[in-house]
């Protein structure tokens, strides 16, 4: 395991979600000769049928720990999860933003509260099953993309700073997903063929986002307004459920013309819609900026990725753009929905994460 510390045997707390990746991560750390304890997080007190919050996932993690012969604990972080992930998720939709709860869970719970707890319990490092790598050359820990391009999770870890990365192990980052499953099968781990988790873990698939949010905030119908002419073109049942870039549910505008949500105005009860060309923009206004090693100079080149498996586009960092920081694309690109994470990669080495930010709402668009 190339990422293992060179300090001899260390105490490692492994975050075990009940999936195959974290199962193999625990097995690899153990095989490297370290003292290993597994921990599964209880995050959501409500009903769940997906993700990493179900009772079945806890049972799977415990069985893997038993198979490996390591201790296993369940840590309750329901309060931290509600405060740092669920409530902000609901509030963001109420403002017309589209948050990324998986990123915020990593920020506040897994690499916030859990990492701090691992310190208090005397563990030297925390290990997870994320498909990403950590480069520690030169004494500074930097996050790199995982070897398996299709499963790379560096995007959802892009908010991590070097000090946090120094305390982490990502044992499966050098493996493809197929290699992870093969290794799990060889070890006789029952998670070897378990499907990957999907969707938002605290929203039941049989009820969906509409029901979840409708129980927590008022949902308001609104008008579809042509961004170019100001003409009312139709209605939507809930403006809080519309995402910038969305096409589904907005009709085709007649004549086969597709409409996209260009901006969401919750107070005004309207959604501005336009063509594919109207969806293009030259920059992304951002907030909540984090850096792995330190801030970039103004106009520094970056590669900008705005979705977990999207393409990274060339841009320039603009820390003092009008109204706040922004990234400015070299060529117009699709608008990024407010609330989405913007991961910044190094053009000199596109495998390396430089930092992250969150796309912010701009009143001028409304």
The residues carrying an active-site annotation are 105, 201
Cα separation values, 314 from 7, 173, 304, 346, 352, Å: 39, 25, 6, 10, 14
C-alpha to C-alpha distance for 224 and 275, rounded to whole angstroms = 13
Task: Classify 115 in phi/psi space as left (phi over 0), alpha (psi -120 to 50) or beta.
Answer: alpha
Q: Which of 364, 346, 359 is nearest to 144 (CA)?
A: 346
C-alpha to C-alpha distance for 124 and 118, rounded to whole angstroms = 8
HSE of 294, CA atoms in CB hemisphere, 13 A: 2
Under a CB-based contact definition with an 8 Å cutoff, are residues 360 and 324 in contact?
yes
Under a CB-based contact definition with an 8 Å cutoff, are residues 97 and 337 in contact?
yes
Beta bridge partners of 125: 12
Q: Please compute Rg for the chain using Cα positions.
A: 22
């Amino acid at each position: 395991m190339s990422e293992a510390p060179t300090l001899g045997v260390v105490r490692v707390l492994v975050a075990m979600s009940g999936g195959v990746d974290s199962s193999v991560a625990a097995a690899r750390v153990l095989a490297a000769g370290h003292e290993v304890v597994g921990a599964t997080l209880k995050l959501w007190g409500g009903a769940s049928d997906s993700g990493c919050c179900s009772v079945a996932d806890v049972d799977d993690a415990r069985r893997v720990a038993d198979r490996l012969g390591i201790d296993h604990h369940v840590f309750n972080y329901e309060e931290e999860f509600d405060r740092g992930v669920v409530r902000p998720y609901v509030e963001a939709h109420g403002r017309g933003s589209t948050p990324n709860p998986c990123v915020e869970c990593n920020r506040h719970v897994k690499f916030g509260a859990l990492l701090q707890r691992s310190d208090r319990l005397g563990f030297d490092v925390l290990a997870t099953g994320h498909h990403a790598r950590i480069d520690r050359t030169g004494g500074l820990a930097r996050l790199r993309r995982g070897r398996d391009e299709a499963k790379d999770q560096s995007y959802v870890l892009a908010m991590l700073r070097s000090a946090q990365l120094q305390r982490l192990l990502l044992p499966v980052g050098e493996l493809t997903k197929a290699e992870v499953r093969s290794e799990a099968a060889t070890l006789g781990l029952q998670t070897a063929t378990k499907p990957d988790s999907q969707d938002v873990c605290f929203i039941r698939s049989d009820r969906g986002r509409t029901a979840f949010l409708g129980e927590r905030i008022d949902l308001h119908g609104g008008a579809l307004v042509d961004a170019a002419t100001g003409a009312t073109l139709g209605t939507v049942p809930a403006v809080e459920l519309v995402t910038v870039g969305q096409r589904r549910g907005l009709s085709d505008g007649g004549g086969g013309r597709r409409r996209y949500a260009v901006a969401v105005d919750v107070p005004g009860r309207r959604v501005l819609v336009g063509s594919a060309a109207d969806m293009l923009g030259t920059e992304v206004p951002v907030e909540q900026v984090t850096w792995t090693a330190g801030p970039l100079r103004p106009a520094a080149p970056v590669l900008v990725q705005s979705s977990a498996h999207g393409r990274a586009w060339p841009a320039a960092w603009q820390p003092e753009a009008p109204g706040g920081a922004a990234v400015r694309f070299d060529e117009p690109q699709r608008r990024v929905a407010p609330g989405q994470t913007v991961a910044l990669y190094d053009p000199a080495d596109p495998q390396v994460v430089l930092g992250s930010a969150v796309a912010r709402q701009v009143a001028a668009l409304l």
